[in-house]
Amino acid sequence: MGKVHVFNAGPCLLPEEAIDNAIKALKDFKGTGVSVLSISHRTKEWEETMNECRALWKELLNIPDTHEVVFLGGGASLQFLYVAMNYLEKKAAYLDTGVWAHKALQQAQGIGEAYALACSKDKNYSYIPKGYEIPTDIDYFHITTNNTIYGTEIKEDMDCPVPLIADMSSDIMSRPVDVSKYDLIYGGAQKNVGPAGVIFAIIRKDSLGRVSRYIPTMLDYKTHIEKESMFNTPPVFSIYMMTETLKWLKSIGGVPEIHRRNVEKATILYNEIDRNSMFVGTAAKEDRSIMNVCFVMAPGKEGLQDEFMAFAKSQGMVGIKGHRSVGGFRASIYNACTKEDVEALVKCMQEFEQKNS
């Protein structure tokens, strides 16, 4: 079988170095003679890994001492509930920019008063709303920084007059982030920083304890800060793989370098979409994501969609089918996706154009 180029929206492509180290750890974790799948989370060897993972997060994102990092199970979808349980006292506002942003809002509405301050559903979430004013009488403002299904992204850290909470599941570690501007950043690991099975939460410590409701122990961020993410058995293997992925990221130059690479990859692919007579992009140009590149067949070429999908598959392209709500194609070019992968997709698109000219 020839080389495959993985563009899955998630779980993501992981660095080869991380996978190679995992293969060794599956047999023997840190010389213990025990597989990482069987290691007790109460051993000193595991505690060292957990501490290393937390330290890498703080170093790579320059996380200030005001914030703490925790690792939990349940996926980012469970975090939608965590957010409302820990922060919603009277009223909260959400920026509705896609399926996951809307689902986060719905979970909050099950806890208390929450509403969409602005929404881009009118154009199938193809842009990021602008020109709205954030009120000062809300408990927090929630944003989803990257929208995997629609290929839009908020690329800058906004100044916000109220506590700012962000779901960064699909663009964390892809660009520098000013963590000090956020009360909470959370997300699933499976886009940029590891396999499925673990979430990260970066929490401003003094932002907790402001709601009057009872918070179940397991849903209280304080619990997991105090117990250093080991109130119950953590997702050990997923955290191990996260650690190895972050070690790789540090080794190549950290977040500034991966951001440079990500912008370069996205520019190459968007330039081809804009040039190629077979395709058009679906996201507003000013809001295009550098993580998820969405495009469809050009007007008049729609009948060639299945043919291109089959051709791309024959050329080793994996995971480029668009989400059913958008159609077309989606290339997820997360951190471990290489420039060579993107160039292979561009070549495939060019050859298809030549075949159908």
The Cβ-side half-sphere exposure at 314, using a 13 Å CA radius, reads 10
191 flagged as catalytic:
yes
Cα separation values, 17 from 8, 22, 276, Å: 19, 9, 35
Q: Which of 206, 248, 232 is nearest to 335 (CA)?
A: 248
Per domain, the residue ranges of the chain are: 16-251, 254-355
274 flagged as catalytic:
no
167 flagged as catalytic:
yes
DSSP 321: B
Query: Annotated catalytic residue: which of 191, 220, 265, 287?
Result: 191
Query: Does 254-355 carry CATH code 3.90.1150.10?
Result: yes
Supply the CATH classification number for the domain 16-251: 3.40.640.10
Q: With a threshold of 0.85, does the pTM exceed it?
A: yes
Query: Annotated catalytic residue: which of 139, 167, 171, 341?
Result: 167
Low-confidence ranges of the chain (pLDDT < 70): 1
What is the predicted pLDDT for the residue at 357? 85
Q: What string of H, E and C letters represents the secondary structure of 49-75? A: HHHHHHHHHHHHCCCCCCEEEEEECCH
Query: Annotated catalytic residue: which of 46, 57, 96, 100?
Result: 100
Q: Which of 134, 96, 88, 136 is nearest to 114 (CA)?
A: 88
What is the predicted pLDDT for the residue at 1? 54
Q: What pLDDT digit, counting tens, does each position of 1-55 carry?
A: 578 999 999 999 999 999 999 999 999 999 999 999 999 999 999 999 999 999 9
